[in-house]
Structure 1
């Protein structure tokens, strides 16, 4: 799962949500993104680093929610490391003055894995509703970070 919804401004209503594709997960488990410096999520991060990432693998019917803190990084070495030709769709090259990196440090995570595809899960839920019997529709739990 490389693409997530990044939620910032968690103390505001509505919460700001933006789709983001991670560029890298480093050795310490930090998740890195590229982001426009003038974006709403960058503005929110300058006010509060608290961030939530919501991942969904629709093929595997798996979901992960990760909470942590995000830091805006302007280091040229990091920007060059994360930048690829796909990034040209949002930026004017690695030297774009609006280019920033976001370093997300996870502190807590929760997952849901249904073990089966959506249709089978739906049938199990329907059966449970009709019969009153609990169905095994998957696993869930906290991840140790």
Structure 2
């Protein structure tokens, strides 16, 4: 795995929410990402029957995007891939949390619970400093030297 992919996944691990949607309709909704730290690849989301994303992916994978803008992690990304509803009780067990439990009356056995699998294909990623002091320094330096501030690293990733 490239250093930039590793950095991407390391920062994504601390992101609490992003915007997930289908390419076909452009509707994005806030969702909390989950993935396997030891073997990053698919990004998993918990949702419910009747939700737009579930209804439109129940018959198979669709082109989708996940957008992240998280100043706390310094990760800004526009990730394209495919989204599908999948059955995987072991994955639900793995990513279940007290936060997820608050949304489902019958816990993991809730009949409306659905697992969404987002498989990234490519991403435009910006990795910035998470330090307010570094940002302030870069702005001050730019004003004194007339040089552009260091806004971080921009990379295109393929998964």
Q: TM-score range by the shorter chain?
A: 0.7 to 0.9
2:57 alignment partner in structure 1: 45
Aligned position for 1:108: 122
Q: How does 1:1-145 map to 2 (within 5 A)?
A: 1-12=14-25, 15-25=26-36, 27=39, 29-46=41-58, 49-91=62-104, 92-115=106-129, 117=131, 121=135, 133-145=147-159
3-state SS, counterpart of residue 25 of structure 1: coil
TM-score by length of 2: 0.70
Secondary structure of 2:56 counterpart: helix
Q: How many residues align?
A: 143
Q: Normalising to structure 1: TM-score of the pair?
A: 0.75
- 1:126: how far off? 8.9
- Runs of 5+ consecutive residues of structure 1 not aligned to the other structure: none
Q: Is the 8 A contact 1:79 1:101 kept in 2?
A: yes
SS of 1:80 mapped into structure 2 = helix
Gaps of at least 5 residues in structure 2 are: 1-13
Q: Post-superposition shift, 1:67? A: 1.0
Worse-matched range after superposition: 73-82 or 35-44: 73-82
The 1:96–1:11 alpha-carbon spacing in structure 2 relative to 1, beyond 3 Å, is: same
Deviates more, 1:53-62 or 1:122-131: 122-131
Give the structure with the larger strand fraction. 1
